[in-house]
């Protein structure tokens, strides 16, 4: 079924007449094009197979059955993902991440407890280099640093850091709700958060220790790899996201 689209985005000329709408062979083809458009700048530099520069997070595409129709059959918008990509959302169908997170919650996954477990694991597994200095050529004290949990607690994490962790985990669980539900049914929500961070930093075997090398383990690895690992540094007694510090210096 041939369809026609009207694209709205910053820096593009406004679609002021139906004759300016672009033609596609099907709604699915239009959807794929839009997905490529909004991700091309991130994944492929300044251009892509669309022939134009990549889109912004404010891009909106309306799909029409006929070129001169006044009411679209679908309206697509964009949302940012924690891993640096963007996803396309059909407004009539809703965001699949929201749906997945809701399904996981209904199945017993407590995202708040998952966040708590992740934060605790982060402090237990990330070394604390405060006050250390290399004074001997043969012994590097940085190799024997105590974990951050010896001196700090989750209460020392900045609000922005906690918000980022919560958003990351909600996205991962929303993307893989069934895997999260199965794992939580076996070990609990807090342990899911702990094991997720452990898997990301390759400490204490992560998911493999609890599941073996079976299908569930494979699903959980996909879950952990769908979001970036969080690293923190201390500033005046407060733990902040180290990646935000690097971005501010660029």
- Which residue pairs from 72-75 have beta carbons closer than 8 angstroms and sit at least 24 positions apart in sequence? 72/6, 73/3, 73/27, 74/27
Helical (H) or strand (E) element with 75: strand 74-80
Residue position matching structure tokens 């965001």? 95
Residue position matching structure tokens 């094991």? 195
Using alpha carbons, select from 155, 159, 158, 134 the residue that is nearest to residue 144: 134
pLDDT tens for residues 90-101? 999 999 999 999
pLDDT at 3: 96
Residue position matching structure tokens 């922005």? 160
Per the structure block, which two tokens stand in for 68? 């001169």
pLDDT tens for residues 24-62? 999 999 999 999 999 875 444 444 444 455 788 899 999
Mark the ranges of the chain whose per-residue pLDDT is less than 50: 42-51, 133-135, 137-142, 245-250
The CA distance from 95 to 1, in Å, is 25
pLDDT at 96: 96
pLDDT at 57: 87
pLDDT at 152: 76
pLDDT at 168: 96
pLDDT at 45: 41
């Amino acid at each position: 079924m041939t369809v026609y689209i009207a694209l709205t985005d910053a820096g593009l000329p406004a679609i002021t007449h139906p004759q300016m709408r672009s033609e596609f062979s099907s709604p699915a083809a239009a959807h794929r094009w839009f997905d490529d458009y909004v991700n091309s700048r991130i994944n492929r530099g300044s251009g892509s197979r669309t022939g134009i520069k990549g889109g912004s997070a404010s891009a909106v595409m309306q799909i029409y059955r006929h070129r001169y129709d006044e009411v679209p059959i679908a309206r697509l918008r964009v949302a940012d993902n924690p891993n640096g990509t963007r996803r396309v959302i059909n407004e009539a169908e809703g965001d699949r991440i929201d749906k997945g997170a809701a399904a996981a919650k209904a199945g017993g996954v407590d995202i708040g407890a998952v966040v708590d477990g992740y934060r605790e694991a982060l402090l237990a597994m990330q070394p604390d280099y405060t006050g250390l200095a290399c004074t001997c050529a043969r012994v590097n004290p940085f190799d024997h640093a105590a974990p951050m949990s010896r001196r700090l607690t989750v209460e020392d994490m900045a609000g922005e850091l906690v918000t980022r962790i919560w958003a990351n985990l909600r996205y991962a669980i929303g993307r893989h709700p069934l895997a999260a539900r199965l794992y939580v049914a076996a070990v609990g929500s807090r342990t899911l958060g702990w094991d997720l961070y452990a898997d990301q930093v390759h400490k204490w075997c992560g998911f493999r220790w609890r599941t073996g090398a079976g299908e569930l383990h494979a699903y959980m690895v996909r879950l952990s790899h769908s979001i970036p690992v969080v690293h923190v540094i201390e500033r005046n007694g407060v733990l902040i996201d180290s990646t935000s510090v690097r971005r501010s210096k660029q």
